[in-house]
Amino acid sequence: MRGVRVNVLGVGISPINPQIARETVEGWIRNGERHYVNVCTVHTVMECQADPALRAVVNHSGLSTPDGMPLVWLSRRHGHREADRVYGPDLLLAFCEHGQTRGWRHYFYGGMPGVADRLVANLQSRFPAMIVAGTYSPPFRPAGAPEADEIVERINASAPDIVWVGLGTPKQDFWVANHRPRLRASALIAVGAAFDFHAGLLPQAPRWMQRSGLEWLFRLAHEPRRRAYRYLVFNPLFVFNVLLQAAGLKRFPIEAASADV
């Protein structure tokens, strides 16, 4: 685990904000370091409760950012007043814009066939100086399945600084961790639905809903069958367990001395 983390049910969340995230990744690129980033929501934390392997992935990332507002509020409660939401779709836009003057090369991995190309077309219309190293929409595979050597070689040959991965949690989180040793890009960043949002396939919640922690309600209304269990079961369980943790009635150990418990 790198850096200070806030222990949220045994998951180490980096108590950062978008500026710190950008400066951290920029440092990796400048120094030739190689890490991966998990953009974490309440869903991520709850998936980690049932899957120790996923929890280990998140806890050993270069950054595990607070995407969901509850993770921001908990970070602030632990004294990290600078913490703010590091929202995957906004992070993608900010890095594409910021990288224009720095020559950053971006690779986009994920999405259904054609989604990554549509995403790139939309991004390049907004950021004409953005450098696209390549795109790839993989066939369906189980979480944790290794990538073919041919695709790894293709990505490495394109020499990206950042590989953006949009496969959904937990598949994307396993992918960035498992392929970190094989890929030479400085940052592998798992951003979930950012591909579909910026490709124009899914609507985004209004800003006021995002900032007030109500984005889940917007997404539930738009995808009720897909999102019902995640939000109507996971969210109450998350709140219940956070209360138990805060009251000291249940411990959620995290394997790092630097964690803020």
Assess contact for 250 and 244: CB atoms under 8 A: yes
The pLDDT tens digits for 6-19 are 999 999 999 999 99
Query: Is 256's pLDDT higher than 60?
Result: no
d(CA 183, CA 90): 24
**Torsion sign over Cα 22, 23, 24, 27:** positive
d(CA 258, CA 239): 24
Assess contact for 7 and 14: CB atoms under 8 A: no
pLDDT at 189: 98
d(CA 200, CA 205): 13
In the chain, the N- to C-terminal Cα span, in Å, equals: 14
The pLDDT tens digits for 50-100 are 999 999 999 999 999 999 999 999 999 999 999 999 999 999 999 999 999
Q: What are phi and psi of 11, to 5 degrees?
A: -105, 125
Looking at beta carbons, which pairs linking 253-256 to residues 24 or more positions away fall under 8 Å? Answer: 253/10, 254/1, 254/5, 254/7, 254/10, 254/11, 254/12, 254/59, 255/1, 255/56, 255/59, 256/1, 256/5, 256/12, 256/59
Paired with 259 in beta bridges are 5
Q: In angstroms, what CA-CA distances link 207 with 98, 179, 211, 214?
A: 22, 34, 6, 10
Query: Is 257's pLDDT higher than 50?
Result: no
For residue 100, give both structure tokens: 């224009």
For residue 241, give both structure tokens: 């367990």
The pLDDT tens digits for 142-180 are 666 677 788 999 999 999 999 999 998 999 999 999 999
d(CA 227, CA 232): 8
The pLDDT tens digits for 87-110 are 999 999 999 999 999 999 999 999
Query: Is 259's pLDDT higher than 50?
Result: no
Query: Is 261's pLDDT higher than 70?
Result: no
